Structures are given as structure tokens and as C-alpha cells.
Amino acid sequence: MELDAVVAGVGMTRFAKHMDTGLKKLGSMAVRDALADAGLEAQAIQAAYVGNAAAGLVTGQECIRGQVILRSMGIGRIPVINVENACASASTALHQASAMISAGLYDVVLALGVEKLYHPDKTKSFAAFSGAVDVEAMAEVMERLRRAPRPAEARTSDSGAGTKRSMFMDIYAAVARSHMQRYGTTAEQFARIAAKNSVHGSMNPRAQFREVLSVEDVLSAPMIAEPLTRPMCSPIGDGAAAVVLVSGRKARELGIGSTVRVVASVLHSGWDHDPAEPGTVEVCAREAYEAAGVGPSEIDVIECHDASAPAELMAYESLGLCAPGEGGKLIDADETRLGGRIPVNTSGGLLRKGHPVGATGIAQIVELTEQLQQRSGPRQVDDAMVALAQNGGGAIGSDAAAMCVTILAR
């Protein structure tokens, strides 16, 4: 399907530890900002897709999360579709909203992502991540992590995954060690990614962490799961992000000037395949490039799913920014920082902006929309015309459970 979805307005909260702020307030703040940015009233919204992953576990709110949030700000009657797709919940909501507008069903659709992960009982927060694998195969998953090769001098415990830390950090750590063994990638290269993103995040007022870190700072930080130190791991967070999409016809009617279009949105789930074969990121990226009529060299700015620093490095390769095994060279050459050939995670990424999982995918779209509209202040990428977001979630076997790649163009 050829997409006909225009970004009319975007809004988001700061990602942070909002212990005293509920889902309703976080969500309504982002929605109001997006509507104001679009110059529209709430009554203009014809349907809403609301992404959230963990409210049931963390807050106890199940089943009608989107309706509860929107009704609190006077938005009712319209269709509200709740979207849960692990860390890809928000990008999946955007994917569905774009498709419905392009199919001609609606002219104005809201896509909202919202999450609260902080809780006085940290086991509730970590349980949100442990539920993003096949829980009936949990014993097998934990045994595989326990048996994953690790250096003799590894500064991490076999225990604690899922109770003292997100088990996904152990999954990322195992994948990172495999990449290091196969290609000679180093911990210093992973640290360079975390340091780069800290510089970007320091310029983003909505980022959870704004301290600038050196490579040495990153390497000397507490070890979480070898080789991942704390700054190489995305933090939990609370927050919300929203996008108001309109049809091309409605955009012309409203006289929207700085037009940003969704030119590709590709969603896949993982499947059983040989580890040497292309996985979800590669397949989504290939289809998105084809749908948008562009190649990797024509992308001006990227927000990728850096839930860990190694995840960003491997995304360089999967998205076609470099050949397999050459992600380390790309970061060593400073090509993915502001001012480089292809800036990645100008927002600070998940590592510094934060990772309220149900909001992350749309937060990426907020950053990229503002980049394409030349309103990112000190983080601005010069003459950005085409942008890509990669957002994944969950894990089954050796691949993500859900993956979405979105391309925007001005």
C-alpha cells in the first residue's frame, strides 16, 4: 500500500522518573502538545491508536488503557485501539494509524505511546521485560543465558537477570560477546556509542540523562552484564509521546506548510531462520527502502533502537550503513555523531533519552519530525530531508519478536 499519511503535529513529555504522575496525566500532556503543534482541537480526532506495554504489570491498568487516558481529557466516542507489542508498541500504533489513513478510513488519527516503568517494587519493573520472551520456555531461556560463553575475568554474575536487572541486558550482552568474537569488535567501541549518545542527549531538554560522558567514564562505570557497563544499558523510564497524522487531502485543507510524510512503515515479527540469514531488521529495512524509493546512503538522520550500545552498533550493519562486522569502524570514524556522515540517535537514543518502552517508538518519530522541520536547535542535522526510525521489541529464539522500520520524508 502506498502511504498517504502526513505528520500534522508531535508532542512528548520529558522521559524521567515520574513517580507521582500517572498514565493519564503523562498521556494527556503529550496529546495536548501534539494537538497544539498541529493547530487542531481534540474534536478533530477521528480514531486513536494507543501503544502501551506494561501498565497491567506496573500500574494494574488493563484492557482499556487508551480509553482511560483519552477520556480523562474529554476524548470519547471515537474508536480507540489499544496496541501492545513489547518495546515496539508505539511504532506499531503509528504503523496502524498510517495504514488506516492511507486506506481512506480516516482523515485525522492520533497515535500515542505511553508508559510508566518506575515502581517502588523494582521486581514489577523487571517483570515487564521478563514477560517479553516466551514465558513457557523461560527455563530454557535462562539456561541458554547461563551457558553463553563469557570471558574468564567477566565482572558479572550468572544470577540476577530478571530480578536485579532486565534480563534483556543479559541477552544483549551475549549477542555483544558473539559479535566481539566473530568480528573483533571491542568494548571501547561500544563505549564510544554510549559517549556519543550522551553528547547528543546533553542537548535534548526532554532526555532523561543529560550528563556528558567520556569513553573512559563509560568503561569505568559499574558492570551490568559483561561487556555492558551501566551507561551501555538503556534505563527504565516514564513518559509519553504523541503524533497527529492527517491525510494528504486534509493537510492541503489545513494548509500545513512544513510537510513531513510517512513514506514507509514496515512491521514484521520474528521467525525461525538460520542465524546466518537476514533477520527482522534487515528484512524490514529492505522493504522500507524499497517502499520509500531510497537507499541507506540517502538517509540523513536515524533514530535506532539502542536498548544497549551493542544494539546500535549492530543496527548500523543491519540497516545497511556499513557491511557486516564493520560497525566498529563506523563509530571509530565518528560517522554517526552530529556532524558525521549519518547522525544516529540525535535525541540521545534510548541510552540517554530513556526507554519507557510503550512510548519509545513514537518518541523516535517526534525527534525525526522535528529534525526534518529544522527545529531541533543545537542537535539539528543540516538540510535533513529523509529520516529513518528502527524500533523493536521482545525476543523469541535468536531474533526480535516484533520489529518496525519507518521512513519519513520532507
DSSP β-ladder status, 386-396 and 399-409? antiparallel
Distances, alpha carbon 203 to alpha carbons 75, 211, 233, in Å: 34, 10, 20
Query: What is the distance between the alpha carbons of residues 367 and 347, in angstroms, rounded to a whole number?
Result: 6
Count the residues in the chain.
410
Q: Going along 248-342, which residue ranges are E strands?
A: 260-269, 301-303
CA atoms of 358 and 116, how far apart (whole Å): 9
- Give me the DSSP letters along 302-328: EE---SBHHHHHHHHHHTTSS-TT-HH
Which stretch of DSSP H or E encloses residue 240? strand 238-247
Measured N-to-C along each axis, helices 167-183 and 309-318 cross at an angle, to the nearest 10 degrees, of 50
Rounded CA gap, 176 and 182, in Å? 10
* Active-site residue list: 87, 355
> Could you tell me which of 242, 213, 202, 373 has the C-alpha nearest to residue 301?
373
